[in-house]
């Protein structure tokens, strides 16, 4: 829910962390189960983790919204189609918000702040889309007069 990380990317990153000395890989086997790799952070990895954690918590990167490009070119569509598409976006946002609410009830308390962060952004996105829909609808009503 926090990051879009594919399994292959995770293993690539773990291998790189091993090469850089930040984590240590061990192969374990329990009973008749297949072997599995277990990764443990090294002392130098812990130092680097603490540095990165502090950097992450103290910095801010403004988000960029890929969907905004559609708003820039929205005038290329008929107003009614634009409103219909924005309503579809609103439905998608609500569905995602519902999934986040479900996640919040199933995750440990340590993750609550992250979910609340996502929910606040989703609420802002909903308010913005509602504003766009209302403005476009009002504009269409004026044009019909």
Q: Please determine, for residue 86, whether its predicted confidence score (pLDDT) is greater than 70.
A: yes
Q: What is the pTM of this model?
A: 0.80
pLDDT score for 5: 86
CA distances from 8 to 14, 21, 86, 88, 122 (A): 10, 20, 35, 33, 29
C-alpha span between 108 and 102 (Å, rounded): 12
Expressed in angstroms, the distance from the first to the final Cα of the chain is 47
Q: Identify the three-state secondary structure at position 73.
A: coil
Q: How remote is the C-alpha of 11 from its chain's centroid? A: 20
Q: Please determine, for residue 106, whether its predicted confidence score (pLDDT) is greater than 90.
A: no
C-alpha span between 16 and 72 (Å, rounded): 40
Q: How confident is the model at residue 47 (pLDDT cuts 50, 70, 90)?
A: very high
Q: Please determine, for residue 108, whether its predicted confidence score (pLDDT) is greater than 90.
A: no
Per-residue pLDDT tens digits for 3-44: 788 999 999 999 999 999 999 999 999 999 999 999 999 999
- Strand-pairing partners, residue 37, are 27
């Amino acid at each position: 829910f926090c990051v879009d990380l594919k399994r292959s990317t995770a293993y690539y990153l773990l291998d790189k962390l091993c090469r850089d000395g930040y984590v240590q890989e061990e192969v374990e086997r329990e009973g008749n189960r297949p072997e599995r790799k277990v990764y443990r952070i090294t002392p130098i990895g812990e130092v680097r983790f603490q540095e990165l954690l502090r950097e992450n918590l103290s910095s801010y990167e403004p988000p960029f919204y890929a969907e905004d490009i559609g708003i820039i070119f929205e005038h290329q569509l008929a107003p009614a189609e634009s409103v219909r598409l924005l309503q579809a976006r609103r439905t998608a946002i609500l569905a995602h918000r519902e999934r986040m609410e479900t996640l919040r009830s199933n995750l440990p308390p340590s993750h609550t702040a992250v979910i609340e962060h996502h929910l606040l952004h989703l609420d802002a996105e909903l308010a913005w889309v509602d504003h766009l829909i209302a403005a476009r609808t009002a504009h269409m009503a004026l044009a019909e007069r």
